[in-house]
Amino acid sequence: MQPVRPLVTIYWTRLVLAIVAATISTVVALALGERGLNTFLNGLTIALLVYLITYYLLFKPMFGSKVPKEKQGKLMTQGIGIYFLAWLVSWIVIYSIALGPIV
């Protein structure tokens, strides 16, 4: 069995973190009680914060020495597409379920 490469680990961890960020975004949106563009911007800000905080506090210290110098930029960009796509889809689903039917 091959050892798991750091960039693969980062990719799949970002997918899970996107779902966590979507849940946090939903909780904050419901707590503020707003709807509209501000709700989306608040959620996007939370998603960006989770992404940046986990990069600087989790991935860079944990995998910085395990990734070759020529691929150091990949630590930041690995999984960025799946992160924001998964965040958006998860947030829409979780937020819609939390709001319930609109009568």
Per-residue pLDDT of the chain (103 residues; tens, 9 = 90+): 666 688 899 999 999 999 999 999 999 999 998 888 999 999 999 999 999 999 999 999 998 888 888 888 888 899 999 999 999 999 999 999 998 887 6
Q: Measured between alpha carbons, how far is 25 from 91 in angstroms, rounded to an integer? A: 7
pTM of the model: 0.88
Q: How far is CA 26 from the centre of its chain?
A: 13
Whether the CB-CB separation of 10 and 79 falls below 8 Å is answered with yes
For CA atoms 75, 76, 78, 82, the dihedral sign is positive
Q: For residue 91, count other CB atoms closer than 10 A to its CB.
A: 25
